[in-house]
Amino acid sequence: MDPIPFWKMSGSGNDFIVIDNRGGRIGLATLAGFTSRICRRKLSVGADGLILVENAADADFSWQFFNSDGSRAEMCGNGARCAARYAYLNGIAPESLAFNTDVGQIQARIIGDRVRIQMTDPVDCRPERTIDLGRGVVKAASINTGVPHVVVFVDDIDAVDVVALGREIRFHQDFAPAGTNANFIAPQPDGTVAIRTYERGVEDETLACGTGAVAAALILARTAARPSPVRLLTRSGGELSVGFEMDQGHFQEVFLEGDARVIYRGTMDAEAWHYSQPQDAIGP
């Protein structure tokens, strides 16, 4: 392929490569390998994921979203905000817009450098469950906010071994074969909720996770009567706001709001994806 124009964007520290693919220049045949190569830090652009903005007949645009390992993800809250602002800044969509994802159509509104997105209604909410781990039985909760999430309450957010414990939960047999994301949360004295996340597909801790923040907020509403909106402090220091309506334990009108910043604009040469790299062994 010829050099590819792209934007690098960040949603509360979750970073993405965003490409206008409305002309269809990037095909699906080799997309997994292409994605994992350009998202590899230090050898290429580096990012938590790739967003392709594409045409849609019934919305302002459609997207394809891929994790940094090349796997396709149904939804990404921070990525959705970045895609929306990208489309607005490039004249693809107005301030209030809609775009198609694998979980359905997402509504969004641009507010300066922040974006509010209307999430799809969550499913599979289990506010109380246990997971048998190597360290013993852990009390947790789980919910699908577009992608599956486990939420674990902790006393000290800084003391959690997010990679080790998160990976064990991510690959646990209870969530096979698709796996899950793992979130660790600790309510703070100022009313915010500190959150750290191990992300499936990135296979590491990320500085923020939008669908994870939504999962944490909704679990707090179910288990601790936390009112809407819930403010969550991510590992990057950025703050996400999650709003919702709850009726007899069922959620609707769920929104996620946070920043969606443009970091830089550039052009990738073929050398960004044509290089040798060791094969990473990712798994439990």
Active site residues: 76, 209
How many CB atoms lie under 10 A from the CB of residue 275? 11
Question: Which residue is associated with the tokens 């906010």?
Answer: 145
Sorted by sequence, the CB contacts under 8 Å of residue 126 that are 6+ apart come out as: 141, 142, 143
Tell me how crowded residue 114 is: count the other CB atoms within 10 A of its CB.
16
Q: Residue 45: CB partners within 8 Å, gap ≥ 6?
A: 6, 8, 17, 38, 39, 266, 268, 272
Residue 96, H or E segment: strand 96-101
Q: Which helix (H) or strand (E) holds 170?
A: helix 162-170
Q: For residue 177, is the peptide bond before it cis, meaning its omega torsion is within 30 degrees of 0?
A: yes
Task: Please report which helix (H) or strand (E) contains residue 230, including its range.
Answer: strand 230-233
Q: For residue 28, what are the CA distances in angstroms to 2, 93, 127, 151?
A: 16, 24, 38, 33
DSSP 27: -
